[in-house]
Structure 1
Amino acid sequence: MIPDDRDALAALVAQPPTTPTAFADLRAAGIGHLALGSHDQALDLLDQAMELADTPARVIAVTINLADVYRYAGDAPTAETLYRRALDLARAQAPAYLSFALQHLGKALGEQGRLDEARDLLTEALALREAAQGDPSLAAGTRAALAALDDPAFVLPLPPSVTALLGPSPSWSHAHEGLSGTVALVNDAYYVKRGPHARREHERLTWLGARGIAVPDVAAFEDDVLVLADAATPSLAASPPPGIGTVMGTVLKHLHTLPTAACPFDERLDVQLARARRQVVEGLVDVEDFDEDNLGLTARQVLDRLLAERPGEEDLVVTHGDFTPSNVLNGGMLIDLGRVGVGDRYRDLALATRDLHEDFGKGAVDEFFTAYGLPAPDSERLTYYRLLDELF
């Protein structure tokens, strides 16, 4: 439960923890910042608490707290990932905490309109709490959560302008090229994204579009919901043109000519490594998805290598951040722009050449560098930025 005594919370978070290495102090301060809506500060403190968590119970507690932060910040996919990790750990190692993980995940899914899943989770939580015959307020809270699922207002609504555009009964689909948990195809005409990722992408595509870069048309944007018009054009990965390496190199060269001084978005290595560390601490790295030459490494080992092998300088340009054939449409339009910012050009070069080599062969990579205008790329930097991408 999130405390609602805002005056007491404000007093709590105004002072640093009295013993900065104390797990309980860090966690309490993190929960306080969460309740006050200070999400970045909450994550910082809870990450520190997670690094001190020395029992399954503590790991589960902080994982649920972290998921709460992402949930209230609007990042439902990350919240769900963390809630499910807490649930799996509770089932395996700490059954006394199982009802808490079930309740938090159930309420989160209910807010997303996944009512059947939510009801199953909350029903299991209620059975556990009634059987335990412990604090009666816990079972009462679960009964209230189950009852709330019947209230249409429990599901997070779309903003009015988005509802007006999509209509009263939109058709949602995640079965489309390149779609992840953060984007859906709606009415076969619009792509809808929600949360902090959507806000970041809106800022960046607006900035790029004003500078002549081909980006999707914004059909609506309100609160944290971004609606993009379907360009009705396949990506280079789905429909590779002849000379795909040349196409990729030409598009990237144009992007990298934008003046860095005018770009307000920072994606330098300091920012990237701090974000990578958060991914590692919070357990958000999928080590099973590592490239073949990195399989077997832990996320922490990858982070340690990145810190030890960090390049001495950065060759700064305006980078895309995830420049792969899947994120370039035929005709040169760029999509998935939430990572755009000033960073090392090798951040884009590494991912482009990795995917081109895997899917189209060395010839496509050679074409890419010829079109880009870099006859002798730095192989160590390419390796470094491919390694960095393992943590995202």
Structure 2
Amino acid sequence: MSGYRFDERLRMIPTDHAQLAARVAAARPVDFAEFRKIGIELMLLGRYAEALDHLDRALELADSDYRRMSVWINLGDVYRYWGDTVTAETLYRRTVDQASDSEILSFALQHLGKALAEQGRLPEARVHLTEALKLRVVEGDAELIESTRTTLDLLEDLPTTLPPKVAALLGADLTWSAEHEGMSGGVAHVEGAYWVKRGPCAAAEHARLNWLRGKGIQLPDIAVFEADVLVLADAGLPSLAAEPTESVGAVMGALLRRLHDIPVAECPFDGRLDVVLAQARRRVLEGLVDADDFDDDHRELTPEQIYQRLLAERPPDEDLVVAHGDFTPSNVLDGGLLIDLSGMGVADRYRDLALVERDLRADFDADELSAFYAVYGLAEPDRRRLYYYRLLDELC
């Protein structure tokens, strides 16, 4: 592509940022090609949320497998540039698995290789890049062949993706835990002392931790935050889901009552239905919903069907509080320390209550659910809202 160059991490950057920004501002995309082009250019400008909006529209307009998969790769790039390597890898691997066109496959392998290299997974990266090179040699495109060879040649010299303050804290010889409670996408346990998160969710959690501190909620300590990397000190406590030493329901009820009592007018973060349903729509459109993880009574539904049901059954109003957004026993540590706050914001209290009831019913006895409601202070919960917000969680 003309007007672009590659930086030391082999990512495209514009040669004239102002000129590109002006061109994007003047654009009025109407078809697949235009939405895709502007989406890519917004990514290069660092305007990632807007880039996703345009690429999602291109995905809706895609009229062939080739076009749809090309957008999957572009979407993966946006998430990767934004720091969400887990989602990026999901999109690249899906393209690799489904591509029948050798050109699309070579691009997917190339981008997957870069994503793995950025995570320090060099042996895996080399395997995928070598596969991409073989395909490109057969295709005979000299420019693409050179691109893959350059990436392979520079693989060992790609700079660390950790920003300086984070690298200084963690040191050079890191021990990353492969198995631990809470092991999930984008979270790593380091040296048994720190939890490391990266990307937009890490930035969101950092902002929420800073805002919530001093409001009567126990929170993890921030060791360092730089760029899009958040390092939290390990509190050394198990979650209520793992090794509860007191009533899970009582602890969760008291903690959620304190959180929900914070004045809504003070909270700058929005988790209301307009916002969350838009996020759900994106995840459904981009194929990022794991239907295998649905609750038993939703197993026969597709993500699209659940999304349409959410629109049709949307409550007429919202009982707004400062909600956690993923309030489960695994996100409360022994003694009532609250973690995983990236989704916290003003929302209906039932967004939290629905998950509490679901998990306490599934993993504990009826006494714990009764203890929760007694301490929280709700005698007769709204069963329809409980169901609605449990259904919403399937797409979150």
Does TM, scored on the shorter chain, surpass 0.5? yes
Whole-Å separation in 1 of the counterparts to 2:198 and 2:80: 12
CA contact 1:235–1:330 (8 Å) conserved in 2: yes
Instruction: For 1:4-19, list aligned pairs within 5 A.
Output: 4-6=14-16, 9-18=20-29
Give the AA of the match of 1:105. Answer: L
DSSP-derived class of the 2:14 partner = coil
Query: Which string of whole-angstrom CA distances, capped at 9 and with x for unpartnered residues, describes residues 50-80 of structure 1?
Result: 1111211011100000111111111111111
> Greater shift after overlay, 226-235 or 2-11?
2-11
Alpha-carbon contact 1:113-1:155 (below 8 Å) kept: no
Of 135, 146, 151, the match for 1:128: 135
- Counterpart in the other structure of 1:118: 125
TM-score, normalising length: structure 1: 0.95
CA contact (8 A) 2:76 2:87 kept: yes
| Structure 1 segment 12-161 matched on structure 2, within 5 A | 12-18=23-29, 20=30, 22-90=31-99, 93-133=100-140, 135-151=141-157, 154-161=158-165
Q: Which of residues 232, 241, 249 is equivalent to 2:253?
A: 249
In the aligned structure 2, how far is the partner of 1:155 from the partner of 1:108? Answer: 13
Taking only the aligned residue pairs, the percentage that are identical comes to 59
Task: Please report how far the alpha carbon of residue 321 of structure 1 lies from its aligned counterpart in structure 2 after TM superposition.
Answer: 0.6
Distance 1:179 1:125 in 2: 31
Instruction: Assess if the C-alpha contact under 8 Å between 2:217 and 2:255 holds in 1.
Output: no
Q: Name the Cα RMSD after superposition.
A: 1.4
Whether 1:326 aligns to 2:330 is: yes
Which stretch has the larger CA shift, 195-204 or 318-327? 195-204
1:219-238 equivalent positions in 2, closer than 5 A: 219-238=223-242
8 A Cα contact 1:17 1:29, kept in partner: no
Residues in 2 aligned to 1:145 and 1:225: alpha-carbon distance in whole angstroms: 25
> Which stretches in structure 2 are left out of the alignment for 5+ residues?
2-11
TM normalised by structure 2 equals: 0.94
The residue type equivalent to 1:4 in the other structure is P
1:16 Cα offset (Å): 3.8
| Residues 1:76 and 1:94: Cα distance change in structure 2 (over 3 Å) | same
SS at 2:231 equivalent: strand
Confirm or deny: 8 A CA contact 2:102 2:135 kept in the other structure. Answer: no
Partner Cα separation in structure 1 for residue 244 and residue 49 of structure 2? 40
Give CA deviations for 1:327-348 in whole Å, capped at 9, x if unaligned.
0011110001111111100000
2:350 and 2:389 in contact (8 A); partners too: yes
- Report the CA distance between 1:3 and its aligned residue: 7.1
Secondary structure of 1:120 counterpart = helix
User: 1:56–1:89: 8 Å Cα contact kept in structure 2?
Assistant: no
Structure 1 counterpart SS, 2:156: coil
Aligned length: 385
* 1:236 alignment partner, SS class: coil
Q: Give 1:291's aligned residue.
A: 295
